[in-house]
Structure 1
Amino acid sequence: MTWQYTPEILPYVGLLFLSMLLAGGLAVYTAVAWTGGTDEPTVRAFVGLNVGCALWSGAYAMQLLSAGVPTKLSWLAVSFVGAVLVSLSCFSFAVAYSGNEGLLSRRTLLLLAVEPVVAFVLFTTQYGNLYTQRVDTVVVSDLVMIDRTFGVMGYVHILYLYGLLALSAGFLLRTIYRSNRVYRAQAGAVLLGIFVPLAANVVWFLRLGPVGNLDFTPVAFVVSGLVYAVAISRHQLLDIAPIARTAVVENMRDGFLVIDETDRVRDVNAAVRRHVSDGDLESIVGRDIGAVFPEVTSIIRDDSRPAHTEIAVDTDDQRRLFDVQVQRLSNDHRFRLLLLRDVTDQHAVEQRYQALIENASDLITVIDDENVIRYQSPSIANVLGYDPSALEGRSYGEFVHPEDRSRIGEAFHDDLEEPAATGREEYRIRDADGEWRDVETVGRNLLDDPFVEGIVLNTRDVTRRKKREREIRRKNDQLGEFAGVVSHDLRNPLTIAQGYLEAAREDVDCEYHDDIELAHDRIETIIEDVLLLAREGQAIGETDRVDFERVVDRAWTHVDTGSASLTVAGDRPIVADEDRLLQLLENLFRNSVEHGGGTVHVRVGTIADGFFVEDDGPGIPPDERQDVLEYGHTTADSGTGFGLAIVSRIAEGHGWGVRVTEGTDGGARFEFSMDDSPVTPPLDGNAPADG
């Protein structure tokens, strides 16, 4: 390879190599420093742009230094590739940087590459002289230089590259117009990096350059490289871009405003525009912040204010509450950033929960790990008569009954030892009048919760419930004593009477002996039913899913049913105490047989919310429907009046509702609903009275 050089050309060649090194260094630096960002279109395009500049500058320097025409043409082909890469990369960067990344689809890039590929083929093959009509050499200042005359495709190709650069400038100018100062500095740097080489290339194309029309375009890339270096270091060219602002900031629910040192608004996002200017950007940008948001004027001018301040803003439809945060931008302290978070809905929710807590009958207490009250809900004024603020700072234990303090302290210590653990206890607490009230408390350990940092006690006044329970226990005790009297004081004389009856049968033949024995049997039955009610009452054991048809069959076999018949249609299990359900069914079957006769037909089945038992017997008159489940109600001479009362109490113990109505065939029908309803009085229909 033959080299050529003159003292006049060496400085220019040095600039070309400097341009190559600068552009190549920027490409390498970008690829290394933004390793994870090479998936971003802006980063890829910036790397491509600098690689193209390096190829163009280096190849043009080698072309000038080469003396042989074939070698010059080879380096000219490399310059061709570099120029194409510069134009395409510059266009891609401008499009992506301005937020139009969707335009850079694979199909679009392939279409953009069609013209350069065709031009390159025509350039290298010289097919039909479509790209260059003539290639000669001229000697200028002892240098052999190429002198070309472009063909049609050559002019088309150059105009095509100019068109790409013009479109790039258009995208960047649009970005400069719409962006704030930070983005304007970035976009302006890129625009300057495009404009300088473009101007130099136009001078070359119009043959206005010196020394044999030297192309100063690659040298102009030195200016571009320096501009890009400054933009990267000072304006975070590849860190932030308007597209990021569009994707993130414009879609933020919170509003932001950028304010300069004169308190004028430089930039806002859509959230602010919606609340202030009905979407009109021009009505906000450039105005004094006091005119846009007078409520924040005192905040931005008082550096001693807390980081977060709430303000109220009256809009066209309602008053909105905003949490305002002011901070200075890290890259330029002349600008301040106002973050506006709409907390109107949050306040509404807080007020709703506050109203619920204040008006609830339950007490909400927060204590620390030393049992000191840190918060007491206002509801305590209505429940216990205390002023909530007077309790804060006092020990919770001083309000607990002395006999319960040790037990409650140990119980809550054990139950609430772990974070988020819960515990439930019943104890007595003193009200403002000095009376002891029964309460039930559910505690939850939220000491590790940064928003609570305490143990939350949810306390309910159960004084009335405990009073009822004590009354029930007292009545049960009385009923137990009554059962003992019945069992002892009635059974003893009954046993004596039965003994005398047996003796009389042996000594005296009397027609009334059988009637006396029936009377004794009736007394025995009454005693058994009374004892059942007194000792078991509504007591229900453990409930479980039971096979309803199996329990029905068992109950039927336990009753003397004679010639009576049974039909069972139970299609699902029943949740019940099986033994008490058995007693309920036995009493209902015995009631049907005693009042319907030996040939009565009984039907049992399940319904949507429970089960039923019905017969085809005579039923009961409508005016007796309210009384059939009461104690002692009977229409049969041999009845005790306790059988259906036992049925009612067993149902009540399960929490079932009872409805007495008319059967399918005119008899009595008892329906039991399991929807946790209380026992309902009998309604319409006929039901036989218990015997």
Structure 2
Amino acid sequence: MTWQYTPEILPYVGVLFLSMLLAGGLAVYTVVAWADAMNEPGVRAFVGLNVGCSLWAGAYAMQLLSATIPTKLAWLTVAFIGSVLVALSCFSFAIAYSGNEQLLSRRTVCVLAIEPAVAFVLFTTEYRNLYTQRVDTVVVSDLVMIERTFGPIGLVHILYLYGLLVISAGFLLRTIYRSDRVYRVQAGAVLLSIFVPLLANVIWFLNLGPMGNLDFTPVAFVVSGLVYAVAISRHHLLDIVPVARTAVVENMRDGFLVIDETNRIRDANAAVRSHGSPDGLESIVGRDITAVFPEVSPIIRGDSPTDHTEIVVEGENRSRSFDVQVQRLSNDDRFRLLLLRDVTEQHAVEQRYQALIENTSDLITVLDGSGLVRYQSPSVTNVLGYDPSALADRAYVEFVHPADRDRIVATFHDNLDRSDTIERAEYRIRDADGEWRDVETVGRNLLDDPFVEGVVLNTRDVTERKRREREIRRKNDQLEEFAGVVSHDLRNPLTIAQGYLEAARDAVDCEYHDDIEFAHDRIETIIEDVLVLAREGQAIGETDRVDVERVVERAWAHVDTEGASLTVAADRPIVADEDRLLQLLENLFRNSVEHGGSEDGESAVHVRVETVADGFIVEDDGPGIPVDDRRDVLEYGHTTTDTGTGFGLAIVSRIAEGHGWSIRVGESDDGGARFEFAIDDSVLADSVDGPASVDR
């Protein structure tokens, strides 16, 4: 391989190698420093751009130093690859930088690579004459220089690469026009790094270069490399790449305004323009901010003690509230940024919750750590007769009944050390008339919550419920006394009659003895049901969360099911007296078994228990209950069989009534009996981990 050089060409070749090293160094630095961002199109394109510059500059330097046509053509092939990589990478970088990454699909890149691929094949094969019609050498200043005449494909290829660079410049110019200062500096640097090499290449293409038309395009890459280095180090070129303004700013729900030192609007997004003027951007930009939004005058002119305020803007249909913040732009003290956050809906929610608190029948009280009232909801006036302001800063415990006071104080102090705990308590509290009211309070320790900083009490007046409970206990006491009389006065003569029946069996053979024994058994069953009804039917003890599936299984095991089957679908517990619920289910199961199934015993009844949103359901696939009888089946003594007492479903009704549940008798999907128990929301427990379904 023959090499050539002269004193005139050595500085130029040195600059070419310097450009190669600078561009290659930027490529390596980017790969190392932004290794985690190499999947970003903009970063990949920036690396490709600098690799192409390095190849182009180095190959052109080697072409100048070589003396034979084959060697020069080989290096020109490498330079060809570098120039194509530069144009495609520059185009991709400009597209990604301007926020149009969606245009850089794999299909788009393949289409853009078609022309360079065709030109490269023609440039390196026997069809070279379509790319370059003539290749020769000339001697200029003792140097052998290559001289070419481009064919039609060569001209198309060069114009194609120019077109990509021009389009790239167009995207960058649009970014400069739409971006703020920091992005304009970035985009301007990238545009300069494209424009300088492009101008040098146009001079070469028009055959205006010195010394046999030297191509100064690779030399111009030194300028590009220096510009890139400054843009990366000082303006964070690869750290903050602008996204198209319409993709973010224009679609922001919050509004922003940029004003200058004369309070003139320089920029505004759609959220502001829609409230400031119906004519759009042109009618706002350039106007005085105090003329468009006079409400912000105090904060703009510095009369407000803070740079944060709230304004109300009257619109065509309704007024809207905005939270306004003012801050200076960090990159230019002449401009200020106004952020307008629409808080209209937030205020509507606050007003809605305020209305709920003020109109609820429950009392909302907030206490501090020492038990003093810091907030009392207005509902205290309707419930207890106090003015809320009269309770402020008073000790809550002074309104509690003396007999309950120590217990409530102890509960309060026990929970001060446990954040976000929930406690329930029942006690008596004095109203404005000096009367004692029974209340139930759910307390939650939110002292550590910065938005509350107190113990929140949710109190409900249960005076009427307690009165009913006391009345029920009084009636139950009376029923218990009645049950004792029934048990003693009826069982004694029944026992005597049963003894005489046994004596009669031994003495006389009579066909009526069995009928008499059956009658005695019926009397005994009636006595047992009456005792259950009187003593336990409506007496409800302590209630708690009850696992429905477990109680159903226990009740099913206590009943002679005679081959019947059971399905349980329970997705939540309920709050009930477990013993009374067990008895209720036993009676329902017994009713289904006795009345369901076929008379010949060939088919047994299937019973299904399911929890629903507002209660639970017990149903079967038996013959069902006629419509005319559904109102009466829960009454005492109603039965449709000769052996029934008519107390089974009456006991179910009393137990439900004792819990405060309502019953609806209906028809199941299979035509059987269906009992729906509607439970009040206050005794519905939260749903458990998931639904459970069990077949028996």
TM-score normalised per structure 2: 0.74
Amino acid corresponding to residue 336 of structure 2 in structure 1 = R
Amino acid corresponding to residue 325 of structure 1 in structure 2 = Q
Supply the distance in 2 between the matched residues of 1:525 and 1:130 (Cα, whole angstroms).
115
- 1:206 equivalent in structure 2: 206
- 1:545 equivalent in structure 2: 552
Shift of the 307–424 alpha-carbon distance from structure 1 to 2, 3 Å rule, reads farther
| Contact 1:416–1:443 (8 Å) recurs in 2 | no
Secondary structure of 1:423's partner? strand
- 1:652 equivalent in structure 2: 654
The aligned runs of 1:438-517 (5 Å cut-off) are: 438-477=438-477, 480=480
The C-alpha deviation readout for 1:602-649, integer Å capped at 9, x for no partner, is: xx9989876899999xx99xxxx9999589x9xxxxxxxxx8789646
- 1:114 equivalent in structure 2: 114
Shift of the 260–550 alpha-carbon distance from structure 1 to 2, 3 Å rule, reads same
Supply the distance in 2 between the matched residues of 1:89 and 1:127 (Cα, whole angstroms).
27
1:354 shift after superposition: 0.8
Supply the distance in 1 between the matched residues of 2:166 and 2:470 (Cα, whole angstroms).
94
Unaligned runs of 5+ in 1: 502-520, 557-567, 593-603, 634-642, 662-670, 679-691
The aligned runs of 1:7-406 (5 Å cut-off) are: 7-125=7-125, 127-243=127-243, 245-277=245-277, 280-302=280-302, 305-306=305-306, 308-406=308-406
- 2:601 equivalent in structure 1: none
1:426 shift after superposition: 0.3
Amino acid corresponding to residue 386 of structure 1 in structure 2 = Y
Identity between Structure 1 and Structure 2 (%):
69
1:571 shift after superposition: 8.0
Shift of the 303–64 alpha-carbon distance from structure 1 to 2, 3 Å rule, reads farther
Supply the distance in 1 between the matched residues of 2:383 and 2:480 (Cα, whole angstroms).
36
Supply the distance in 2 between the matched residues of 1:21 and 1:448 (Cα, whole angstroms).
61
1:246 shift after superposition: 4.3
| Contact 2:634–2:653 (8 Å) recurs in 1 | no
| Contact 1:63–1:75 (8 Å) recurs in 2 | yes
Shift of the 218–531 alpha-carbon distance from structure 1 to 2, 3 Å rule, reads closer
Secondary structure of 2:243's partner? helix
Which structure has the bigger radius of gyration?
Answer: 1
Secondary structure of 1:243's partner? coil
Supply the distance in 1 between the matched residues of 2:664 and 2:471 (Cα, whole angstroms).
28
The aligned runs of 1:526-675 (5 Å cut-off) are: 535-536=535-536, 538-539=538-539, 544-545=551-552, 577=581, 648=650, 651-655=653-657, 673-675=675-677
Shift of the 630–300 alpha-carbon distance from structure 1 to 2, 3 Å rule, reads same
Shift of the 282–99 alpha-carbon distance from structure 1 to 2, 3 Å rule, reads farther
1:423 shift after superposition: 1.6
Which of 65-74 and 527-536 deviates more?
527-536
The C-alpha deviation readout for 1:234-289, integer Å capped at 9, x for no partner, is: 44333333436444444433233333444333443343344445583434444443
Secondary structure of 2:115's partner? helix
Which of 604-613 and 4-13 deviates more?
604-613
Supply the distance in 2 between the matched residues of 1:583 and 1:569 (Cα, whole angstroms).
15
Supply the distance in 2 between the matched residues of 1:527 and 1:113 (Cα, whole angstroms).
100
1:358 shift after superposition: 0.5
Secondary structure of 1:675's partner? strand
Shift of the 582–195 alpha-carbon distance from structure 1 to 2, 3 Å rule, reads closer
| Contact 1:196–1:220 (8 Å) recurs in 2 | yes
1:319 shift after superposition: 1.5
The C-alpha deviation readout for 1:84-124, integer Å capped at 9, x for no partner, is: 11111111112222233222222222222222233233333
Supply the distance in 2 between the matched residues of 1:325 and 1:344 (Cα, whole angstroms).
16
1:357 shift after superposition: 0.6
Shift of the 343–199 alpha-carbon distance from structure 1 to 2, 3 Å rule, reads same
| Contact 2:589–2:607 (8 Å) recurs in 1 | no
Give the CA RMSD over aligned residues.
4.9
Secondary structure of 2:552's partner? strand
Shift of the 9–630 alpha-carbon distance from structure 1 to 2, 3 Å rule, reads closer
| Contact 1:487–1:527 (8 Å) recurs in 2 | yes
Supply the distance in 1 between the matched residues of 2:122 and 2:527 (Cα, whole angstroms).
122
Supply the distance in 1 between the matched residues of 2:491 and 2:146 (Cα, whole angstroms).
142
1:569 shift after superposition: 10
Supply the distance in 2 between the matched residues of 1:239 and 1:248 (Cα, whole angstroms).
18
The C-alpha deviation readout for 1:412-462, integer Å capped at 9, x for no partner, is: 555675443322110122233433321101122334434333332111111
| Contact 2:555–2:583 (8 Å) recurs in 1 | no
| Contact 2:43–2:238 (8 Å) recurs in 1 | yes
Secondary structure of 1:120's partner? helix
Which of 542-551 and 401-410 deviates more?
542-551
Amino acid corresponding to residue 342 of structure 2 in structure 1 = D
The C-alpha deviation readout for 1:350-404, integer Å capped at 9, x for no partner, is: 1111101111110112234433333322212222233334434333333322322
Shift of the 189–148 alpha-carbon distance from structure 1 to 2, 3 Å rule, reads same
TM-score normalised per structure 1: 0.74
Secondary structure of 2:228's partner? helix
Amino acid corresponding to residue 545 of structure 1 in structure 2 = V
Secondary structure of 1:545's partner? helix
| Contact 1:364–1:459 (8 Å) recurs in 2 | yes
Amino acid corresponding to residue 455 of structure 1 in structure 2 = V
The C-alpha deviation readout for 1:547-583, integer Å capped at 9, x for no partner, is: 99998879x9xxxxxxxxxxx9998789975657778
Amino acid corresponding to residue 654 of structure 1 in structure 2 = A
Shift of the 526–209 alpha-carbon distance from structure 1 to 2, 3 Å rule, reads closer
| Contact 1:540–1:577 (8 Å) recurs in 2 | no
Shift of the 6–263 alpha-carbon distance from structure 1 to 2, 3 Å rule, reads farther
Which of 286-295 and 605-614 deviates more?
605-614
Shift of the 241–281 alpha-carbon distance from structure 1 to 2, 3 Å rule, reads farther
